Every structure is written in C-alpha cells, then in structure tokens.
Amino acid sequence: MTRRLSRWACVLAVGALAVTGCRDKPVDHMQRARDAIFEKRPDEALVEYRKAYEMLLRDESPEALVMRARALKGAADVYWLEQRKVKEAVSVYRQLIQQCPEAPESLEARIILAELLRVHYRDLRGSIDQLTAALHRNPPQSAELQYQVAKTYFELQDYPQCELEAKKLPDRFATSPYVDDALFLQAQALAMVEGKRQEALKTYADLRTRFPDSELAPHALFEMGKLRADAGDNEKAIETWVECLKTHPDPSLVQDAITRARRRLANLTVEGIGKKEVAFDRSKQARTSVEAMGGSAEEAARDRGD
C-alpha cells in the first residue's frame, strides 16, 4: 500500500511539473535568462532567450514584438559581452535590426554592430552605414555618433568626406563636448587634401580661439607649426612651436621639431650650404623650452650644456 502511494506521488509530481512547464510564458524564460547571466551561466541564458524568442514568433501583438526585441538583444549581448563570440553576436544583432527596426534595442544594436564591424572585420563602410542609420533616429548621443562617422571616413582616407562630416558637428551640436574634437579632426582632414593648407591652419586657429582650455589646443598649435614648416616657412614654424612649448604635454617633442627646423634654416643660408657644423651652430638659436617657460638666457645655456 505504501509503495503504491509512493508511486502515485511520483506520478503526480511529474504531472505537476509537466503542467507547470506548459504554463511557462516568454516572460518566465526571459527572467531565467537574466538570472543565468547574473549567475555567470551564459549558455543557459542563451537557451532561455531562445525559448522565449520561439514562443514569441507565434505572436504578432505589439507586446510580443517588444519582448521579441528584448530577447534578441539579450541573446546578442550574451554572445558579445559574456562569450566574446563576435560572429554569433553580429548575426543576432543583424536579426534584431531586421525584425524589429523601430525598437529601442535596434538603435543600441546598430551602435554596437558599427563598432564590431569596424574593429573586428575592418568593414569601415558597413560601420558607417550602421552609424548613419542610428543617426536618422536622432538619439541622445547623436553628436558622438556624428564624430564617429567623420573619424571612420578619416580611417578610410576619404579626407574630403571626413571634413564634411566633421563640419556638421559644430553646426548641429554647438554645445556638445565633441565640438573641439570635431574641429581638430576637420583640420587634420583638410591638411591631407592638396591645396587646403590655409583652411587647415584657419580651423586649428578657430579651435584654439573657441576652446583655449581644451586639451587639444596645444596639439592644434603644434600642428600649425608642422603645416608652416611643410610650406617652407621654418621661421614662422619655430615661432609657433616656441609658443607651443608653454602648454604642450610633451615639450621634448616640440623641442625636437624646433631643432630640426633650425637645422633646415641653417642649411638654407649661403654660409651653411654643405657645412655640417653650421647646421648645429648654437649662436643664433631660437628660444629653448627653458626660455619659453620664463627662464633666463643663462639658465637656458646651462640646460643646453653650453
């Protein structure tokens, strides 16, 4: 009798479990997936997200579409953030964008996908396509995305397009903290285009005028010196770099540029042509970093070892 009751208890327990399993809803699988992620069980999380997704495929209600997007985003994030499986993550992010293009999760998916395509596949144009599609939805981070578009065109060596995209940022997002970055990038792109040197100089100068406290301001001044040196105006380049010494985070880099420009000037003089010693003549040196920072000529001489 006891054995028979035990058998019936077992059967009832199995039946109860079966009924409970049949009553599972997508939201239950979603919660189990989140719990599994928290407990560092990504494979189990993927199984639960897949179950939720498959159940939601049969439901076209607005609520189901919302949950479907969340299930796909959750699975893609597990592949990428937990398992670092780039191929699988890219596939599911694309699936999410295709099936739920207007969902908030699709916007996030485009931004992540753009980075994955750029970094792991070097698909720069594919990355730009995703960023551009994200920008069409006017997200809060539009200024940053616009900067990423411009920067990616620079990586493509499409400097005219980079300049155009970088220029959009100050025009559309004047209060963004990315404006100085965009101006610097715009000037860099202009400097790479033949015949645009003066425009590049003007843009660097604009950055320094508008954002004198930006960490990019001394770098802009250094680049201005390089442009002047490339144009053969070594005296103006030296003058620019001496000013740059006061604020540049790497004074030795600036001092090296000054030294090279000084040598070029010496070699251009009638007396210096063909004479090695003239190139290293210190009698008419431009100001050193010590002098530029307010030190006396005697202190500068000691710094040079004279």
pTM: 0.79
Mean pLDDT of the chain: 87
Residue 212 has pLDDT above 80, yes or no: yes
Residue 144 has pLDDT above 50, yes or no: yes
Using a pLDDT cut of 70, give the percent of the chain over it: 80
Lowest mean pLDDT among 119-128, 254-263, 273-282: 273-282
Q: Are 157 and 122 in contact (CB under 8 A)?
A: no
Lowest mean pLDDT among 59-68, 135-144, 210-219: 59-68
pLDDT band of residue 304 (cuts 50, 70, 90) is very low
Using a pLDDT cut of 90, give the percent of the chain over it: 76
Residue 240 has pLDDT above 90, yes or no: yes
The CA distance from 149 to 132, in Å, is 7
Number of Cβ within 10 Å of residue 260's Cβ equals: 14
pLDDT value, residue 259: 95
User: What's the one-letter identity of residue 199?
Assistant: E
The two structure tokens encoding residue 209: 């005028």
Q: What is the CATH number of domain 25-139?
A: 1.25.40.10
pLDDT band of residue 270 (cuts 50, 70, 90) is low
pLDDT band of residue 23 (cuts 50, 70, 90) is confident
pLDDT value, residue 267: 84
What are the CA-CA distances from residue 20 to residues 14, 26, 27, 51, 59 (Å)?
A: 10, 13, 14, 15, 21
Q: Are 190 and 206 in contact (CB under 8 A)?
A: no
Residue 237 has pLDDT above 90, yes or no: yes
* Domain 142-214, CATH homologous superfamily name and number: Tetratricopeptide repeat domain (1.25.40.10)
More confident call, 104 vs 282: 104
pLDDT value, residue 68: 97
Range 70-95 average pLDDT: 98
Lowest mean pLDDT among 82-96, 210-224, 290-304: 290-304
pLDDT value, residue 268: 76
pLDDT value, residue 16: 41
What are the CA-CA distances from residue 289 to residues 101, 141, 188, 304 (Å)?
A: 57, 41, 26, 10
pLDDT value, residue 60: 87
More confident call, 285 vs 204: 204
- The pLDDT tens digits for 186-196 are 999 999 999 99
Range 77-99 average pLDDT: 98
Residue 24 has pLDDT above 50, yes or no: yes
User: What's the one-letter identity of residue 42?
Assistant: P
CA gyration radius, the chain? 31
Q: Is 285 helix (H, G, I), strand (E, B) or coil?
A: coil
For the chain, the helix, strand and coil percentages under 3-state DSSP, each to the nearest 5: 75, 0, 25
Range 178-191 average pLDDT: 98
